[in-house]
Amino acid sequence: MRLFLLLTFNALMLLETYEFTHETDRQALVEFKSRVSDEKRVILSLSWNNSFPLCKWSGVTCSNKHMRVTSLDL
């Protein structure tokens, strides 16, 4: 029983960490978008929004393992 509780706790912590880091990446990119020129912001706005998953945003590459942003191709 203790092992089950330990594994469950660890799984929840990993899930929470994943969500936090994914959200941090999204917030950083939205902040970046707000600071670029109006012309480029229009282009980024086509896919850089909440209706698309972060890793599907145009020019954004994520790692396969952790789904964190690893590069931008602007």
Determine the Cα–Cα distance for residues 68 and 54; give it in Å rounded to an integer: 9
Contact (Cβ atoms closer than 8 angstroms) between residue 22 and residue 54: yes
Task: Break the chain into its structural domains and give their ranges.
Answer: 2-72
Q: Residue 8 has what pLDDT?
A: 52
Distances (CA, A) of 47 to 4, 57, 63, 72: 41, 5, 19, 14
Q: Model pTM?
A: 0.63
The model's pLDDT over 4-55, given as tens digits with 9 standing for 90+, comes to 544 554 554 454 444 556 788 888 888 888 888 777 777 777 788 888 888 8
Q: How does DSSP classify residue 37?
A: -
d(CA 54, CA 58): 9
